């Protein structure tokens, strides 16, 4: 099975798990760089790398919960509490 994914001016032909993994890693790297810029702009008291790790882990966990179709009625509260915690670091 072959599929194609386009981002910016690039096109990836995905036919192997390794290629899929590379596409995901490239996307995550771009996201990490953008996140790092935003975190540094806020001048956190905590190390910017550590803050980015916290953000990444939080949203990965939230994504897993959504994919498991767990109770999503508290998602807004979870994100609000997380943002409040981030602002304090």
Average pLDDT, consecutive stretches of 10 residues, N- to C-terminus, the chain (89 residues):
50 72 91 96 94 94 87 87 90
Listed residues 26, 41, 56: the one ending a domain: 41
Q: Are residues 26 and 51 in the same domain?
A: no
pLDDT value at position 60? 92
Q: Are residues 84 and 52 in the same domain?
A: yes
Collapsed DSSP state (helix, strand, coil) of residue 69: coil
Q: Are residues 27 and 62 in the same domain?
A: no
Q: Are residues 1 and 29 in the same domain?
A: yes
Q: Are residues 23 and 56 in the same domain?
A: no
CA–chain centroid gap for 40, Å, is 17
Collapsed DSSP state (helix, strand, coil) of residue 11: strand
Q: Is the dihedral of CA 69, 70, 72, 73 positive or negative?
A: positive
Q: Are residues 32 and 64 in the same domain?
A: no
Neighbouring C-alpha atoms within 13 Å toward the C-beta of 1? 3
**Full-model pTM:** 0.69
Question: Which range of residues forms the domain containing residue 26?
Answer: 1-41
Collapsed DSSP state (helix, strand, coil) of residue 9: coil
């Amino acid at each position: 099975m072959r599929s194609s994914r386009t981002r910016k001016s690039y096109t990836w032909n995905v036919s192997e798990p390794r290629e899929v993994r590379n596409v995901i890693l490239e996307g995550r790297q771009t996201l990490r760089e953008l996140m790092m810029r935003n975190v540094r702009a806020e001048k956190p008291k905590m190390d910017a790398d550590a803050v980015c790790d916290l953000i990444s882990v939080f949203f990965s966990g939230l994504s897993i919960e959504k994919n498991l179709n767990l109770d999503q009625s508290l998602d807004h509260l979870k994100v609000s509490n997380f943002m409040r915690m981030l602002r304090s670091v």
